[in-house]
Structure 1
Amino acid sequence: MAGGFLAISLLSYHTSKKAIHESIVTSQLPLTSDNIYSEIQKDLIRPILISSLMAGDTFVRDWVLGGERDGVAMQRYLKEIMQRHGAFTSFFVSDVTRRYYHAESVLKQVSADEPRDRWYFRVRDMKEAYEINMDPDLANKDAPTIFINYRVFDYGGRFIGATGIGLTADAVQKRIVDYQQRYQRRIHFADSKGRIVLSSRPELVGKPLAEIDGLATLAPRILSGEQGHYEYTAGSQLVQLNARHIPELKWHLLVEQDEDASLADIRRSLYLNIAIVALVAGFSIWLTALTIGRYQRRLEEMAVTDKLTGIANRQAFAPLIEQLLSELRRSPQAVSLLLIDIDHFKQINDTHGHQAGDDMLRTLAQRIAGSLRESDLIFRWGGEEFLVVLRDCAGENARHLADKIRMAVAATPLAINGTSLHATISVGVAERTEDEDIDHLIGRADQALYLAKRDGRNCSRAV
């Protein structure tokens, strides 16, 4: 009996060892990578969006084209950006005067002969719209800072400078260390050249991947954008590694775990009975479900909301739709769009005032959102337009939902500032075809909306 129990225990151990290996490779590391990707998007994608808005701001371009006469106005603008968005620093460098403007002063004039200014001339000559780079911040006693350097062009497409905001490297580094403590896995971020820019092991920052023990032969594959699972040996430890490319940051996310350390508990539990093993398995399933739930909540929190209506705005569309397309590549399903426009909205504004128009937008946005499933997405698309993305919804069902929303809006007056106002909407419906790109799908929904308006409004049409 003892021999039989030992044989069963050993068999159970080896089976569990294989299962743990597969769980690390196929579940735990990918899920951790997804969670960290979601959180780092909140930390760094928003600063990229802010820098993009600065680069396209008409004030910045008009101020440069006007001769940069009022330097205080630019400093005030940069200070407002820092205060409004909680940025560590903000800047603008003019290509006309080569002045480096900061919220407090004009720091200097950049020069091609000054090594510290090479970043600016690199940004000026690059083809990409922006870069993320870690440099000392002259305005803050050379504190290591992660800068988003965005190129600025005038209305004719001529390069006129670089702008953006910065985050303290220490603050982001602390988040990475927090990730390691929370997920019990080592996390690294490497740039496109293979240099570690952030790591839960601070001593590795600045070191090339090729110089890290065990990674020399894997570095070229990782940097080529080959995502997925890798395995290497560091000293006597077998390390499992999950790598993924983050195109928004132009970085590579590496999440790794020592397999031997993961087996320590199962070794100590070698002689425990199958009931305990079942309990551990049940706990693992619960933990995995909890992790997936947390990941989905993180994605929901990424959305940038429209201040007036409280729903997602147009800037939130790109990252959310990219996530949806990624899911569709793994699990294809029907997707439909509703493009909704409030009929005669200008007349409502002219007759009842802009405040009434704003109240109507808020009320209709909430009504439309209340008619949708949790998995659907709604965006304020334009002045009086809303875009709805329906997951797992074919065109016929989307048309039915569009008419249901439309009739509900038409049948129920809106109480605006004590006045009962009637509103109607027109809806364009389009179902995505296989491999159709999003811009083309939106164009078809817009065409359908045009047909609805041409046919008298307060109706829906599909293309």
Structure 2
Amino acid sequence: MNAFRTLHRSILLLFAVVVIAIVTLVHFSISKIVAEQSRAQQQSLSPAVSLIVTQILEPLHISEALSKSRELVALMENDAVPESNIFATLKRLEQEFGLSFFIASELTRTQYHSDGSKFSLIKGEVSWYFKYRDGEADTVADIGKWEKPHFYIDIKIYDDDGKFLGFFGVGKSLKSFVSVFGSYKRQYGYDFLFVDGNGDIMLSSDSNLIPKYSEFTNLSELPWYASLPRDVRANNSLNNLLVNIDGGDHLIAEVELPQFNWTVYLLSPLDARQTEISQGFIISVVTLLLVIFSLFLLIYNLLYYFRRDLKPELIIRNTHRLPDRNQIEVSYQTLIENYSSLSVIMVDVDHFMDINDQFGRNAGDQVMEKVSEFITAHMRDIDVLGRWSSGEFVILLPDMGPREAQELAHRLRHGVAILPPPGEYPEMHLTASFGVSFSASKRPLNEISAHAEDALYQAQRDGRNLVRVQLIDD
């Protein structure tokens, strides 16, 4: 058996070396062509600049022009002006320009919005007003209103004697930016990153990078940026830099927005044109890869089936080695003694009984094995995965809050949905439902797991292939 294992590893190593050598040869052969083509493509970014002007600078110019209006100053310098007049003016501006406007009055310490809402500006509760009021800048761009995040442009208003009257500004929903940037990306292929002076990402064409609940993603948190040389990051000079993002080469262009002290990074994916490469070279490389890969598959399958025939009892499903309920209970007790909080995710393979009935129990075992391997690959070292029932898994996540656990469940749900089925059953389609709960105190496992199961059953009732959360009422 050791001889077969050694042979198997040797074949894998040989195949890897050959593939790496060929890929390296191809890469260096076309890298210069790719770089030159991309730099030429970068010169055609005028549509991107036009989009920035339309979405960012035009609202700024509109608000700056309106801020000089005598009508606006009159509304803000006299506390005898009825609120109805303020709302009527803001509503009229919204209808004329298609933007949301607001007034933050220093005199009344109240913020009025064109949608008719208002709230008091109380120090300690509304931080932005007092932060920017005492700052030197007269024009500020900010993200706020976290239940429905908006991009705001805040402009200080003064009377004729230079007395500060408050802020006037314009707001746009971040969803509208995501929609516009998404359409642009589909048409032109560029990604956008709007980064402030501290490196925080304020706007992006990637909805995952849009700030939520006052939490911003910093440029330094992006893997491709963190992999750059230290001197490049220190100088923050990325223009015409070639970076690798998610396995693809991208060329970066910078556009400065000095009005807000922002920098816009345009990430352009490189499109390799095979017409620049010799057709004979491509055909020879592809043919060589196919021959090597075919030989590898043949030898691998021969070794696999030969080994299986010799020792069939040694082939053990991964899921048989997962802890059961009793072992999970022991692990849970250990975790709650060592960690202050814990999230639980219940995972149910959708229609698992139907899979067993239609394809057989062996197919069901293979499905559970694939799902468990996928989940394990996305867990931390401190996390615990176990079998809860015939078609269910349980995941214990110490020191992970409910929001992070929900995000993990969404990633796992998506990953399971795109898992390839077992090779013998190509018509099979796998999905799973997820239930999430959380506890910040030392509760019994059956209490928190009951809430996770209720959330799981809700996901199943809502149509399966979903994630639901049910937290424990303290």
- TM-score if structure 2 supplies the norm length? 0.48
- Larger Rg, first or second structure (1 or 2): 2
